[in-house]
Amino acid sequence: MAKKPSIPKGTRDFSPAEVAKRNYIIQTIKKHFETYGFQPIETPSFENSETLMGKYGDEGDRLIFKILNSGDFISKVDDVTYSSKNSASLTSKISEKALRYDLTVPFARYVVMHQNEIDFPFKRYQIQPVWRADRPQKGRFREFYQCDADVVGADSLLQEVEFVQLYDAVFTDLDLKGATIKINNRKILSGIAEVIGAKDLLVDFTVALDKLDKIGEEKVKVEMMQKGISEKAIAKAQPLFDMTGTAFEQLEKLKTILADSEVGMLGVSELEEIISTVDMIGLQSASLQLDVTLARGLNYYTGAIFEVAAPEGVKMGSIGGGGRYDDLTGIFGLKDVSGVGISFGLDRIYLVLEELNLFPDSLDTTLDVLCLNFGKKEGTAALKLVSGLRKQGLRADLYPTDTKVQKQFKYADKRGVPYVILLGDQELTDGKFVAKNMKTGDQKDYSLDGIEEFSEKVKTEI
RNA sequence: GUGGUUGUAGCUCAGCUGGUUAGAGCGCUGGAUUGUGGUUCCAGAGGUCGCCGGUUCGAACCCGGUCUUCCACCCCA
């Protein structure tokens, strides 16, 4: 007996209704990417391992799905490596390819490989799935979509401002109110680490600081001490734990703390420029918030960093993130190309919209008109009518068999079809058809010679 | 990767200290209704209780393993 089929942990099937909702989000994001001047590219779902490994930190390497070599790969491994039982060194021998982990690193690789064909500054967007060998949770999958927009080859801070506006434009269009775009600057974090004399512990410091609103001040300090940051240094960083007030008030406090740090002050002035410009232009439905505890793990960020939190009350990790990276292409041999970009987490935005019931009802309608089938002669006439309606741009279909009318009606009802057409023997001889509005129950006759009248009526109701 | 949690009909879930033939609601199929769906009424189908093994006269229930779900870490979209 056949075993029940299953799909791997952290993956999902999508039903027609789910695909419709996902497409709605994708189309919305795509539309705004394009109105902001981004061009689409696509890259392979798997890359050479060396392209990906080491770009996301040790933790990231662990989460990259490795693809086994083809052929009799194990026989090519030397005995020393084989018997060492060291996963890392064995993996490099038996796996040369890996599934992409995000879209930013493959994009950097793309820019370097195509540098001679690209007109800089280059604004590209990319909507494709990525894979992570993470342990699944709600809103966390092993296969999920990222929707990225990046611009490389220019270092103007106006781009950061544009990205904030882009986030706002998409969320406004999706009717998602109250998302918080958190912003910080890596230079500020570097400056702080410098000022308190823990420069080489920057990553540990920021990772701990990032947890402030989650685990509280005391536990953050404990973690910092465990990582080897001195009590004195932590005491110096105390003002960070007491950050309150508006973004501008916080910036003033940072200026005092970071007075002796060149990078730190640069970070403050960058943030000040971005925030004040956004403030001047204004946002529609999202809000921009300075958050000095925002760290983001990815090591390649060098300037502004973004993270988008779902509206208050929705329990969901960040639904977007991004930042500026001054030298991502440097790893692949192309120096001095600054980039900045953002990402939308499609799957999480989906869950948020679902929870807040923000998907438009129209997504449920996948067919505008269903024509019932009354037999061979009537069916042929109906097919002619249906293809006429299709030419008018309506989503129209003919029930394929002449089963009981009751059954055909039930099908129409379940599909959520707004109009059902009846074209039987009597109608045929009269040269007309009957259209029934499934919502109101009203029925009306139309001439078979003038289907435009009917199709126009349907179109105005969609 | 660490600790915990979950799995019974298509879906949401009951199922007592281990004891005959494992239940409900919704959904599904058919009929009441041979040219009119949703409402109502009637009937029916559908389950090796996630999987493998163990304990027992006997296991959905106890034990071990495994897969899956969700949660907290880690990290992140």
Residues whose CB falls within 8 Å of the CB of residue A229, separated by 6 or more in sequence, listed in order = A196, A198, A201, A204, A205, A208
User: A66-67 and A143-152 as β-strands: parallel, antiparallel, unpaired?
Assistant: unpaired
Please indicate whether residue A295 or residue A268 has the higher confidence score (pLDDT).
Answer: A268
Amino acid letter for position A80: V
How far apart (Å, rounded) are the C-alpha atoms in residues A367 and A390? Answer: 11
- A91, A116 Cβ separation under 8 angstroms: no
- Quick one: pLDDT band at residue A1, thresholds 50, 70, 90? very low
Residue A297 confidence (pLDDT): 65
pLDDT tens, residue by residue, A96-132: 999 999 999 999 999 999 999 999 999 999 999 999 9
* Protein residue minimizing CA–C1' distance to B35: A405
Of the listed ranges A32-36, A81-85, A307-311, the least confidently predicted one is A81-85
Q: How far is the CA of A361 from the C1' of B41 (A)?
A: 32
Q: How far is the CA of A372 from the C1' of B29 (A)?
A: 21
Per-residue pLDDT averaged across A345-368, rounded? 90
pLDDT tens, residue by residue, A178-206: 999 999 999 998 898 888 887 777 878 88
Residue A298 confidence (pLDDT): 64
- For residue A373, give the DSSP letter: -
Degrees, nearest 5: CA angle A437-A441-A444: 60
How far apart (Å, rounded) are the C-alpha atoms in residues A222 and A174? Answer: 41
Q: How far is CA A123 from the centre of its chain?
A: 17
How far apart (Å, rounded) are the C-alpha atoms in residues A174 and A237? Answer: 40
- Enumerate the nucleotides of strand B whose atoms come under 7 Å of any protein CB: 1-3, 28-31, 33-38, 48, 50, 67-77
- A367, A462 Cβ separation under 8 angstroms: no
User: Of all nucleotides in the shown strands, which has a C1' nearest the CA of A207?
Assistant: B75
What's the whole-number average pLDDT of chain A? Answer: 90
- For residue A352, give the DSSP letter: H
Per-residue pLDDT averaged across A37-54, rounded? 95
Residues whose CB falls within 8 Å of the CB of residue A266, separated by 6 or more in sequence, listed in order = A187, A191
What are A25's two structure tokens? 């989000």
